[in-house]
Structure formats: C-alpha cells, structure tokens
C-alpha cells in the first residue's frame, strides 16, 4: 500500500536503493522512528525560503544518544561501540577488564570540539526553526581509533564503520562533478537529518563522499580520513570537496541559499566556486553572502598552500581567485584564513578573549571582526537527572527546556535547602553512574574526583596535573583520597601530543603503590560517549590551556550545565564568566604580545594548580565526609553558580547572537543558486 507521505518524501529526496534497503525504515509516516512530516516540510522550505548553509569539516552529533534513530534492519557490528581499554595505576583491573560507554558509535565524522560545536549548532538551529542546511563530509574511516600500547603510547588504528546500516543515514542518487586539472571528480551525496528537541522540525545535513566506482582508486580515498595530512595535495582536494562540492550540492538539491557560513578556512573554496566568472560588481555582492567563523589562534589551525601546489590541482581560473584574495603578503602562498576573511563580510572570533587576539593577528581587518562566544546544546549535554530536577522546580525557575536563559533564576534558589539537596543529589546520581562503569577500578562516589579530557594538543597541557607526582601524592595523603581521570587523542601526526601520552602513561605506571589514596585512570579512545559521562559524573573539570591559545573551549560548559566545578586557567570562555565556578589559577595573558604556544610554563603553573587543587579537595571533604553531606557548604554555592552561569554558555544565547550579529540577511538579494 503506497503511503502518501512516503511518496511525497521520495519525490523530494532521491534515495539510492530505497526499495531494497531503506523501505523498512521509511514507512508509515516515520523516518527511522521519527516523524517523516518534519522532513517533507524541511525539503520544501529549503527550496523556497532563503536559507543558511552551514559548512564544517566535522560534525559531532551525539547521534548515539540524542534524537537517536531506530532501525528494523540489523546494524553492522562495526557500528557498535567497541570495548575501550583502560590504563591505570591499578594494573590488575586493566589487565582483566574493559569498558564500553555506549552501544552504538556516534556518527564518526568528528575529531573534537569543533565538530561537537557544529553538531550542537545544527541542533539549536532546528530548535530555533531556522531555514538551514549543514554541509560536511562522509569520512569513511572516521578520524582514527586510539589504542594504548601498554605504557608506550598511542597507536592510531584505522577505524571502520558501515554507513549503509547507520540508523538515519541515507545515500542519495545525486552525483556532483567537479573539474580539476587532472580531470573530473564525482561525489555522491548522503543525508542525515538533525531534528529539534520536540522532533517536529528538522535540518538536513548533506555529506559528501568520493568513495564511489566512478572515481579512480586514489580519488576514492579522498574522503576516507578526517584531517589526513600526509600531503598538501590531499589536503587541498579535501578542502575543494567540502567548499566547491558543498556549494554545488546545494545548487543540485535546489536549495535556496542566501548565506554561506564557513567554519574555519576549510570550506572557503565555496567562495571560489561561487566567484567563477563574476564581474567585479558581482564579486562585491557575493561577499555579502559569506560569513566566516575563525575557531583558533593556534598556527597549525591555519592552512597555507604554496601557489605551485594550488596551480597544479585547481583549474587556472579557480587558482587565480584563491591567489587574488588569499595571498599572504610577501609569500608565494595562499592562506585560507586570509582568503576566508577577504571572502566574507562578516568575520567572527569565538570568545571575547579570542577576539582580542584576532585583532592583534589581523589588525588590517579590525573593522570586520566581531565575536560570538561559543556555547553547548542544553538538551544534549545536561544529564537526565538535572533535567528532572529543573522540572521539579519549574514553577520557581521556569521551563529551561524551552528557554535556557531561565537557568539564571537558579540564583533565587541558592538558599533554598530543598534545592541545595536536590542539586547535590542529582550530581551524586551522575557520579554513581560513572563510578559503576568503572567499578572494577574501585572508583568511589564519595571520593574527590577530577577529570582532564579533550584533544591532546600541546597548548592544552594534558600532563600538567601529573607534572609533580610527589606533590599530588602528598595532597592526597593530607586532604583525603583523590581520583584523577584522563583521556584524549593526539592527532596521528602530532609528535608532541604523542610524547605527552607516553609521559602520562609512564607516570601512571609508576604509581602502583599509592592506589589506596591516589587513583589515576587514563581512558582509551576519548569520544562523545565518554565526554557525556565524564562531564556529568566528576566533581571537578580541569581545564589548563596556556593562555591565550584556547579560543573558547566548550567541555567546561558541558560540565557546568551539570553543576561540575571548574579548576581552570583564565582563557577562552572562562574570561567571560561572571560567577565564581571553582578556582582559577596559573599564567595569565595580560594583552600585548601573544607569545609562543610552545613556551608552556609547566613548572610554575603545575605548582599553582596543586595549590588550587589542595584547596578544592579540602573544601570537598568538608562538604562530603564519607557520604555525610553538609548542605550549607560553599561547595554547593559553587555548584549552583555553575548552573546559573549556564544561562550564558549555551547555544541558545550563541545563536541569538549569530542571528543579530552575523546572519543579518540582506533584503531581497539572492545568490544565483
């Protein structure tokens, strides 16, 4: 029996192998278990309303737990989450046990914070009911899987997954052809829909894929690994696929795009694609339709390509546009950051501090640059325990689901004893869940627990808390036991990141004697599933980047949404916090010269970190004495301050600012798509 909704959907979206493969999951008004009607409306909307195209190399959608699709087909076992090993100073447990933080893997098309931000942004655009589409890449081998090699460091393993049985992901019949000096490249399109939290509105994410028989063997591999970097030729091609392929895909789908939002310089070839053959006047007009967000002040985050390499790959006409707008003064090189700034009328940094740094790095563009501080998506990162708690207090605080600004009202409940108890109780439940997962390592819910987890980049100083092990041991002996959890991947070509991991594993290996009062646990293969459990379940979130190199940082925002205290240097988003959320320590950027990201101030900052950690541990044990809780403790004030502060550091405030500062859509103008 033909279902009219399915018929309508199929007339708008050309699915490859619908009958054989996808008809089981797209039927009876449902798309993998969620309402099909929202998708029909989305497809119609994008063909008529002027829309925003949001480009990012990576997306971390938390698809294993947020708006998760269901499927009636068997999911390939490669899409099931594998077991993670653990390296701790309780080697016996490491030897016998592994952990698995989720059952399904998250769509493996992200590496870290940039991807999670892009995912959180699409979800919030859907919550705001904006006309928008996301553009990204279908990375067929993801980023990579991190394996520990006993204590000798990280072994990056190639990751494999099956897009054909990933719930909610569909291949399209559409093909995009791009021309290069070497010939034609054909791209297949995929779609994944990002629903709003009430599941009645959706935004398509279009993913580009070169792994099809029409392409040469080499070209088929172009979309295999995110941030693959062994040659500039591959890096240029990946960027051309995202930018040019993305712009062409939007046109092919008939979407009416008014604004191209570029994240990092990665997507800037969308401008080159659109600029082809335009007059000077039309070029000036085109720039009004581009916005660019810069996400890092760190040098390695800015792509530079010599003219000769661009000219060998791109058609002459395209290379010319890139060189005209992107040449770095005095060099025969194109800097994609410069190109993106030149291509866009609106340029923004991702925090106030990052904005100040950008003004120093790009003084010639100071009039164009603005800032919108990052946020995190409440519905994704706030634990169920805290959502329930806020429902209980809805008459006093308001509906934080619909309006996270209402979190500010937690201020009024600071001296409410029932609220204080519930906050501590909700946190303890989250902590118990984490401790249960790591029960074989004897993690305890009444022990002071600190976590550092994110990408292992040098400027983030992953090993700082292990810098002076004896000091750490002596604090634990004096104040009470301490549990430290560490996790993070280093990019496979980042030898400094590797060195950090080796050093950390080695230090942990030397700690077997002190396990009763100092447990140090390093988790393998940090990912979104781990991030969710850790930001919810620990007492203190440690954030120690070297100022001013953390453009924003977002993991701490996920933690404060769950009342987890911050132990942090003063950088990125933290500079804008107005409530006391824990302790701030270490080297501070006072303006003036930015300095070197490799001058890490390790010894001085470690010492200050330990002072602050000791204070926090003392206060913790005054608050929680082996399960006997002092609800009047200032620790609980700090927990509530964290919740209050979430009012600002979420993607709703962020999108409100993007709407007014960045996406002011010009009247009555349209790019010829």
Ligand X SMILES: *Cc1c(COP(=O)(O)O)cnc(C)c1O
Residue 576 beta carbon to ligand X: minimum distance, rounded to whole angstroms: 15
Write the secondary structure of 73-137 as one string of H (helix), E (strand) and C (coil).
CCCCHHHECCCECEEECCHHHHHHCCECCCCECCCCCCCCHHHHHHHHHHHHHHHCCCCEEEEEE
Q: Which is nearer to ligand X, 381 or 515 (CB)?
A: 381
Report the interface residues with ligand X, using CB under 6 A: 112-113, 116, 454-455, 526-528, 531, 553-555, 558
What element of type H or E holds 450?
strand 448-453
Q: Rounded to a whole number, what is the distance in angstroms from the first to the last CA of the chain?
A: 37
Cβ contact 227:143 at 8 Å: yes
Give the span between the Cα atoms of 566 and 274, in whole angstroms.
Answer: 45
Q: Which is nearer to ligand X, 209 or 527 (CB)?
A: 527
Q: Which is nearer to ligand X, 143 or 424 (CB)?
A: 143
Give the span between the Cα atoms of 134 and 262, in whole angstroms.
Answer: 11
Task: Specify which residues 51 forms β-bridges with.
Answer: 257
Q: What is the total residue count of the chain?
A: 673
Q: Which is nearer to ligand X, 410 or 528 (CB)?
A: 528
Residue 527 beta carbon to ligand X: minimum distance, rounded to whole angstroms: 5
What element of type H or E holds 134?
strand 132-137
Q: Which is nearer to ligand X, 221 or 455 (CB)?
A: 455
DSSP state of 99: B
The answer for 592, left when phi > 0, alpha when psi is -120 to 50, beta otherwise, is left
Residue 541 beta carbon to ligand X: minimum distance, rounded to whole angstroms: 9
Q: Nearest 5°: phi and psi at 161?
A: -150, 170
Residue 650 beta carbon to ligand X: minimum distance, rounded to whole angstroms: 13
Residue 261 beta carbon to ligand X: minimum distance, rounded to whole angstroms: 20
What element of type H or E holds 619?
helix 602-623
DSSP state of 103: S
Q: Which residues contact 281 (CB under 8 A, 6 or more apart)?
A: none
Q: Nearest 5°: phi and psi at 486?
A: -130, 145
Cβ contact 267:242 at 8 Å: yes
231 to 138, 159, 234, 304, 309: CA distances (angstroms): 20, 20, 5, 12, 10
Give the span between the Cα atoms of 551 and 359, in whole angstroms.
Answer: 13
Looking only at the bridges linking them, the beta strands covering 333-335 and 346-349 are unpaired
Q: Of 45, 50, 12, nearest to 673 (Cα)?
A: 50
Q: Of 32, 102, 96, nearest to 69 (Cα)?
A: 32
Q: Which is nearer to ligand X, 211 or 430 (CB)?
A: 430
Residue 490 beta carbon to ligand X: minimum distance, rounded to whole angstroms: 13
195 to 81, 119, 201, 375, 532: CA distances (angstroms): 23, 11, 6, 19, 20
Residue 161 beta carbon to ligand X: minimum distance, rounded to whole angstroms: 17
Residue 619 beta carbon to ligand X: minimum distance, rounded to whole angstroms: 24
Q: Which is nearer to ligand X, 274 or 454 (CB)?
A: 454
373 to 28, 386, 575, 579, 588: CA distances (angstroms): 42, 24, 11, 17, 19
| Structure token digits, residue 320 | 């010319």
Q: Which is nearer to ligand X, 45 or 558 (CB)?
A: 558
Q: Which is nearer to ligand X, 166 or 526 (CB)?
A: 526
Residue 453 beta carbon to ligand X: minimum distance, rounded to whole angstroms: 7
Residue 109 beta carbon to ligand X: minimum distance, rounded to whole angstroms: 13
Q: Which is nearer to ligand X, 420 or 558 (CB)?
A: 558
Give the span between the Cα atoms of 255 and 245, in whole angstroms.
Answer: 14
Task: Specify which residues 519 forms β-bridges with.
Answer: 483
Cβ contact 138:59 at 8 Å: no
Question: Which residue lies nearest ligand X, judged by its C-beta?
Answer: 113
| Structure token digits, residue 457 | 């980049």
Residue 64 beta carbon to ligand X: minimum distance, rounded to whole angstroms: 12
Residue 657 beta carbon to ligand X: minimum distance, rounded to whole angstroms: 19
Give the span between the Cα atoms of 225 and 197, in whole angstroms.
Answer: 31
Q: Which is nearer to ligand X, 170 or 484 (CB)?
A: 484
Residue 283 beta carbon to ligand X: minimum distance, rounded to whole angstroms: 36
Q: Which is nearer to ligand X, 32 or 526 (CB)?
A: 526
Give the span between the Cα atoms of 354 and 554, in whole angstroms.
Answer: 14
- Coil, strand or helix: which one is 576? helix
Q: Of 63, 58, 60, nearest to 81 (Cα)?
A: 63
Q: Which is nearer to ligand X, 397 or 546 (CB)?
A: 546
Apex 486 CA angle, 574 and 294, nearest 5: 40
Q: Which is nearer to ligand X, 266 or 558 (CB)?
A: 558
Q: How many distinct helices (H) and strands (E) make up the chain?
A: 24, 25
Residue 494 beta carbon to ligand X: minimum distance, rounded to whole angstroms: 14
Residue 553 beta carbon to ligand X: minimum distance, rounded to whole angstroms: 4
Q: Which is nearer to ligand X, 379 or 454 (CB)?
A: 454
């Amino acid at each position: 029996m033909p279902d009219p909704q399915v018929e309508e959907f199929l007339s708008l979206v050309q699915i490859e192998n619908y009958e054989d493969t996808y008809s089981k999951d797209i039927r009876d008004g449902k798309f993998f278990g969620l309402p099909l009607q929202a998708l029909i409306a989305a497809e119609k909307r994008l063909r008529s309303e002027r829309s925003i195209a949001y480009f990012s190399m990576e997306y971390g959608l938390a698809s294993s737990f947020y708006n998760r699709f269901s499927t009636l087909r068997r999911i390939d076992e490669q899409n099931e989450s594998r077991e993670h090993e653990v390296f701790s100073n309780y080697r016996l447990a490491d030897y016998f046990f592994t952990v698995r933080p989720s059952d399904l893997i998250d769509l493996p098309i992200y590496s870290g914070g940039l991807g999670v931000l892009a995912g959180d942004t699409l979800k919030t655009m859907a919550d705001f009911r904006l006309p928008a589409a996301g553009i990204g890449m279908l990375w067929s081998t993801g980023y990579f899987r991190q394996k520990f090699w006993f204590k000798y460091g990280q072994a990056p393993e190639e990751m494999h997954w099956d897009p054909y049985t990933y719930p909610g992901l569909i291949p399209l019949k559409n093909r995009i052809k791009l021309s290069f000096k070497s010939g034609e490249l054909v791209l297949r399109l995929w779609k994944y829909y990002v629903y709003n939290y009430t599941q009645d509105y959706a935004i398509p994410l279009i993913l580009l894929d070169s792994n099809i028989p029409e392409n040469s063997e080499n070209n088929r591999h172009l979309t295999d690994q995110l941030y693959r970097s062994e040659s500039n030729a591959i890096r240029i091609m990946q960027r051309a696929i995202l930018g040019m392929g993305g712009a062409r895909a939007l046109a092919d789908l008939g979407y009416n795009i008014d604004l191209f939002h570029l994240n990092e310089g990665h997507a800037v070839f969308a401008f080159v694609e659109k600029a082809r053959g335009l007059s000077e006047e039309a070029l000036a007009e085109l720039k009004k339709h581009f916005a660019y967000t810069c996400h890092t002040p760190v040098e390695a985050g800015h792509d530079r390509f010599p003219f000769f390499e661009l000219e060998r790959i791109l058609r002459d006409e395209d290379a010319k546009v890139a060189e005209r707008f992107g040449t770095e003064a005095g060099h025969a090189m194109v800097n994609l950051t410069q190109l993106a700034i030149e291509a866009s009328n609106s340029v923004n940094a991702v925090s106030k501090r990052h904005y100040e740094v950008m003004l120093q790095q790009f003084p010639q563009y100071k009039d164009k640059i603005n800032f919108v501080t990052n946020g995190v998506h409440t519905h994704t990162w706030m634990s169920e325990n805290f959502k329930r708690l806020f429902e209980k207090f809805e008459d006093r605080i308001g509906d934080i689901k619909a309006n996270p600004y209402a979190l500010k009202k937690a201020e009024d409940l600071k001296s409410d004893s029932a609220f204080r108890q519930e906050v501590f109780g909700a946190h303890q439940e989250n902590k118990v869940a984490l401790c249960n997962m790591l029960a074989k390592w004897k993690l305890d819910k009444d022990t002071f627990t600190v976590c550092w987890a994110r990408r292992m980049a040098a400027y983030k100083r992953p090993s700082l808390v292990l810098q002076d092990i004896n000091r750490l041991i002596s604090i634990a002996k004096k104040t009470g036991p301490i549990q430290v959890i560490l996790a993070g991947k280093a990019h496979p070509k980042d030898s400094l990141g590797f060195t950090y991991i080796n050093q950390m594993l080695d230090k942990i290996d030397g700690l077997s004697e002190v396990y009763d009062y100092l447990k140090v646990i390093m988790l393998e293969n940090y990912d979104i599933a781990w991030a969710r459990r850790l930001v919810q379940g620990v007492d203190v979130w440690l954030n120690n980047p070297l100022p001013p190199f953390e453009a924003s940082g977002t993991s701490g925002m996920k933690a404060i949404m769950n009342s987890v205290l911050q132990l942090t240097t003063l950088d990125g988003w933290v500079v804008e916090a107005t409530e006391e959320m824990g302790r701030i320590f270490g080297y501070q950027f006072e303006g003036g010269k930015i300095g070197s990201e490799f001058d890490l101030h390790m010894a001085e900052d470690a010492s200050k970190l330990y002072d602050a950690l000791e204070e926090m541990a003392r206060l913790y044990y005054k608050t929680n004495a082996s399960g006997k809780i002092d609800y009047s403790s200032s620790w609980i004030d700090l927990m509530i301050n964290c919740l209050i502060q979430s009012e600002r550091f979420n993607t709703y405030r962020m999108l409100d600012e993007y709407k007014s500062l960045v996406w002011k859509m010009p009247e009555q103008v349209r790019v010829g798509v």
